[in-house]
Structure 1
Amino acid sequence: MTIADRDEAAERAASIRRTLVDAVQRSWSRELVDELIVRRPELAPTVTIDDPADAGRAGTLEERTLIRAMLSAVMDAVGTVRIDLAIAPPTAGRGLRVRIAAVSERPAEEVRDDLAPLIAAVRGLARRCVAVERDGALVLEFEYGH
């Protein structure tokens, strides 16, 4: 084994270590976004995530399933522009809160109309569900905790 071989092996080991550390430190919401983008690379919107407490990981299976369904549907409806996802953990008197703001080349009202059946389902499952247009973005907010 040469010095160059040893150096190359050390570089590869460091790369593997960094990859493993990154995987452990990724939030559930980041994993979800990455998974959805990998499944539909042609969409690839710019996505920002605000989930500092990794509240998505602590959510119930029902909560995580609904977040996944909403985000997937929004990505399909919005296409390739921008999505902002925020997840806040439950607090006294409040359930898990989710906010998805989506900017599309299409009018926000049109996107909301496309998502109307899913929004209606969320209203039946969540304590609170709001779907409004703000500054050209479709904003979906829902809170769990019946």
Structure 2
Amino acid sequence: MKYIIIVYIAFGFVLSSVLGIEYPCSGQDMFPEYTGSPFIFRQKSFGSSMTHYYSVTGLVINTGIWTVVLLLIRRSILNLIERSGNNKGFKSIHRGMVGFLILFTTLNIGIGYIMLGNGFQEGLNYWYFNLDQEAKEWGVDCEGRIGVFLYPK
């Protein structure tokens, strides 16, 4: 059960872009903004500022990466708790943080669901986004910027 919770929390980290890369593009034509964590998984819609499209592959790979990171952090925290003689205060703080992260993830999934664009096909929600190819076709230049809590504006 604890591993399912870790994957769930990792998914919330991806959706929130706790640590991610924003891809604003400049050129003569308008081009959507992309977000990665580290791989591209979200595209801002042209039709509405409140609609985003998601890449299934990007979500899965990013969730896997964050799962590994969270497993390493968890192992470190459990080692610290063991070294402290299984201090009940540290255990309580750990449980409280896990509870907070579960709520954080649930909130991010809810927001993501509300803002999810309709349809599943290329140009909408799809298996993958090929930013390099699309930028080349549209003649725009995209550069990634690392940031914290990057939710497209």
* TM score, norm. by length of structure 1: 0.23
**Rg comparison, structure with higher value:** 1
More strand by share: 1
